[in-house]
Structure 1
């Protein structure tokens, strides 16, 4: 495994769209966007595996700043991408916008309110050792649970198979468990330092956040009817509307 994030791309010329997945997933979670984007996005697109996910290298410590810093080598100064990030990826998108010029940030499904119990559960997950399995199928099932994708993608889809790793005949989820320890985002500070236009979006049935929680930050909020936390997987077509102001 190299030192740079693994990246999938598409399109050519024109504006750049950077797609950032959520905790536990990989860049392949955006596979269902390929055809709709080919029709509706006149430019390039990049979907990396965040550090500690998929085929990207691990970090010594997981912070939003460190995750954002790892993405900077993927961008040229003139790119000024539109960044669409889901959940953890939405927070990383804001941290990235404080470091490099971006045209806009769309944060989808970002959890902005964290209780002490939420943080304690995340910290406990971060302390767990990697779980090894005898079969790829078992590892895929665990990956799908960790990423919240169970029932949303098939076990042989790229979003499923890219999330496991084989070593010496055994299988494990590719996710570095320590990534769960990234903590709660300081949304007010992140939005204050993001030097760009920001929109926060959510599926109407997302249990991770509410309209009221998102609206407290004074940025535009879009609610997508009939969708849950993984709205970008449930309906890429519906989520494409989030990009309309930036095409």
Structure 2
């Protein structure tokens, strides 16, 4: 277990197969030590950890608890197999895990035959046999050029990983499948996908977010399989925000409003919310408070639907009711929440049938303008925007 510093609540970080926790999480951990006491662990045969054999994912979870010692509750974040161990901890030690951020993972990862084949290949030729194909699986577009030193360090960690330890983790993943048990997870879970991840695509993270009682999904643009290294600022913000979200059964009105403001800013952007707040008058200020507390704090935070689904509903309702002054804002929010431009197009095409061609025609015109705006910042188009935007 590596102590990465900081003070505050305990935050435990888990690694991806073929990486060391220090390299994968280093930059992200630096952004978290002002709020948490951060520790990280390595897989057997990875980083500084000795090799072991004959274990499964549940054994890895027990090893994390043994290394931590005591009975202190902690927040958890893990990437790939580190995320799988996080799910196992949520199931096997629910009293210990206060919240979990599970990145680039799934309740089942790959298929058993593929993992056994990879274990055999690595036992035969070492982890060097993986080096040529790994950048395409690990890194999103442009990452290796943007941060050449970190990409090189990650690949060096893979090359230095003990072949037997790597193969043993492959075999642990071959037997890992907690899909039937997701409804038992009690703690709040944030599932984080990279939109370029071919190893654990967005659907795998959506399966987690939809399957646990208190789950939600975030999708990182331009990110593949190693989100903590590829997007440390975004991942650190997601972890800090998720860990600070108050449990729903103990929330006060002030806490609901604070959570609503956090979600509102994540979905609409700081510039948008700052502008709406600054333009509030004595007449409209209470309305802004109502939006923040009830729309964003009570509805958009509910675990029953992910933000992507809520954006689909919001767009459809706005087209159906002809609320065009709000539509551009929610088109941009839908993109933030993981909808692609093609999916927004399909949604608007469907509204042409069920809401009416004239409404869809106006919606397409507004959406085209909103999606073309550089940086996603709104250009005021109606007199209503300064007071009614929500």
TM over 0.5: yes
Partner of 1:239: 235
> Where does 1:98-117 land on structure 2 (aligned, <5 Å)?
98-100=91-93, 101-112=96-107
Task: Check if 1:79 corresponds to 2:36.
Answer: no
Shift of 1:220: 1.1
Q: Quote the Cα distance in structure 2 between the aligned partners of 1:190 and 1:22.
A: 22
Aligned pairs for 1:159-174 (under 5 A) are 159-163=154-158, 165=160
Structure 1 equivalent of residue 46 of structure 2: 53
1:165-205 residue CA offsets vs partner (Å, 9 max, x unmatched): 5xxxxx96684322211215323344344442222110122
Residue by residue over 1:134-190, the C-alpha shift from the partner in whole angstroms, topping out at 9 and shown as x without a partner, is xxxx9698499499557365379654555555xxxxx96684322211215323344
Asked if 1:127 is matched to 2:93, the reply is no
Cα displacement (A) at 1:99: 3.3
1:11 equivalent to 2:14? Answer no
State whether residues 8 and 48 of structure 1, in contact with CA within 8 Å, keep that contact through their aligned partners in structure 2.
yes
- Counterpart CA distance in 1 for 2:5 and 2:25 is 14
Contact 2:87–2:107, Cα closer than 8 Å, also in 1: no
Contact 1:94 1:190 in 2 (8 A): no
Which structure's relative contact order is higher, taking Cα pairs within 8 Å and 6+ residues apart? 1
Aligned match of 1:168: none
- Aligned-pair CA distance for 1:94: 1.3
Q: Distance in 2 between matches of 1:79 and 1:13?
A: 14
Q: Partners of 2:57 and 2:135 in 1: how far apart?
A: 19
Residue 187 of structure 1 corresponds to 178
Structure 2 partner of 1:228:
224
2:53–2:165 contact (8 Å) kept in structure 1: no
**Root mean square deviation of aligned Cα:** 3.3
Structure exhibiting the larger radius of gyration computed from Cα positions: 2
1:18 and 1:114, CA in 2 relative to 1: closer, same or farther beyond 3 A? closer
Which residue of the partner structure matches residue 198 of structure 2?
207
Structure 1 unaligned spans of 5+? 1-6, 133-137, 166-170
Residues 114 and 232 from structure 1, CA distance in 2 versus in 1: closer, same or farther, beyond 3 angstroms?
closer
The answer on whether the counterparts of 1:155 and 1:161 sit within 8 Å (CA) in structure 2 is no
Whole-Å Cα distance in 1 between the matches of residues 137 and 203 of structure 2? Answer: 24
Q: Which runs of 5+ in 2 are unaligned?
A: 245-390
Which is worse superposed, 174-183 or 9-18? 174-183
CA distance in 1, matches of 2:196, 2:2: 29
Q: Report which of the two has the higher share of helix.
A: 2
> SS of 1:125's equivalent?
helix
CA distance in 2, matches of 1:18, 1:147: 28
Distance across 1 between alignment mates of 2:129 and 2:114: 22
Note if 1:24 corresponds to 2:18. Answer: yes
The change in CA–CA distance for 1:127 and 1:210 in structure 2 (over 3 A counts) is closer
In the alignment, the residues of structure 2 paired with residue 16 and residue 69 of structure 1 have an alpha-carbon distance, to the nearest angstrom, of: 17
**Which structure carries more strand by proportion?**
1
Corresponding residue for residue 343 of structure 2: none
Report the equivalent of 1:176.
166
Assess if the C-alpha contact under 8 Å between 2:190 and 2:217 holds in 1.
yes
Q: Deviations over 1:196-247 (max 9, x none)?
A: 2222110122223444443344231111122222121111001122211214
**Counterpart for residue 91 of structure 1:** 84
TM (norm. structure 2) is 0.50
Whole-Å separation in 2 of the counterparts to 1:37 and 1:153: 23
